[in-house]
Amino acid sequence: MAIAASFAADAEVRRGGIAFHYATPLTARELAFYSRFEVLVTHDPLPRAQVDELHRRGTRLALYEWAVAFYSSLATPWQRSISPLNRTPLRGHLGATDADAYYYDPLAMRGRADAIAHKLASIGYDGVFLDATTSESVHPDAMKEFARRHPSRDYDEAFADFLRALRRDVKLVVTNQGYRKAKNVLPFVDWDISESLITYPRDGKFVLRPWDDPADRWNSIAFLMRKLIAPAMKKYPRVRFEHLNYVDAADSSLVKEIVAIARRYHAQAFVTLPSLGAAIETEAYFDRRP
């Protein structure tokens, strides 16, 4: 009877999907909250004791990695050894406006997958979150150089070779907006994260997108889900999808609405402040009722 009761209790456990928290270390309250998710993404490694405790509670950890570039101020020895697409630093586009960035040539990244796998093993993490994937995230000047160097090659097809190598050594791979180049990205990942498809910035604050505005379909939630996400989900059923969205304040009713919209389209959701440094605690993540 005790064993049966234990199995019943386990069956009642409901976990959220992927949580994002970019401030370290975690407080005791944050650790307890994030231990209720399947995966926690952090920007920098957590202390090993917190890594071990989250693992003990059943949460896996993924470390942030900018997919297409790196900042010179944070460059590793391996990054300093390669030949990036840009000889002089670039700022802006999807990178910071006040930091120098160098963009990877995906045909000259031998050793990158090994370097990531080694880093994850050294900190006890399970996998990696590749932020801002695909050629759409590459600075236009760097893309021009890629086309000059490799006139017969497609950037995203070349990047897929890196993902294939990464998949061999890393057991958890999460991408940001890989659905945009699904055939090159999604065969190699476990989760894909959309960003700001439910809320978006307007007039200095984050608000819900319109549901289905005939005059502005490409800014409408229902149209974006049907046009961008549903086809990728259908073609790559093994990949799990989550919608990351931002709000300006910890409004639990708005978070609940965003989570409900994501579930309507058979996906998970996570909602956070733009800093990604503070938890918005709500049971909506863990309640699977309609």
pLDDT in tens, 4-45: 443 334 445 689 999 999 999 999 999 999 999 999 999 999
What are 160-213's pLDDT values in tens digits?
A: 999 999 999 999 999 999 999 999 999 999 999 999 999 999 998 999 999 999
Rounded CA separation 77/237 (Å): 38
What are 87-133's pLDDT values in tens digits?
A: 999 999 989 999 999 999 999 999 999 999 999 999 999 999 999 99
230 vs 9, more confident: 230
Rounded CA separation 80/102 (Å): 10
- Residue position matching structure tokens 């229902």: 222
Residues 6+ positions from 114 with CB-CB distance below 8 Å = 169
Query: Which pLDDT score is estimated for 288?
Result: 67
- For residues 127 and 68, the answer to whether their CB atoms sit within 8 Å is no
- For residues 64 and 86, the answer to whether their CB atoms sit within 8 Å is no
Rounded CA separation 215/197 (Å): 17
Residue % of the chain over a pLDDT of 70: 94
3-state helix, strand, coil in the chain (%, to 5): 40, 20, 40
Within a 10 A sphere around the Cβ of 69, how many other Cβ atoms? Answer: 22
* Per-residue tokens: 141: 């000047």
Rounded CA separation 45/53 (Å): 14
Q: Which stretches within the chain are classed as H helix? A: 2-12, 28-34, 48-56, 77-81, 112-123, 140-149, 155-169, 182-185, 221-224, 230-235, 252-264
Residue 230 reports pLDDT greater than 70: yes
- For residues 174 and 127, the answer to whether their CB atoms sit within 8 Å is yes
Rounded CA separation 44/21 (Å): 10
What is the pTM for the complete model shown? 0.92
Identify residue 33 by its one-letter amino acid code: F
* Per-residue tokens: 274: 């733009």
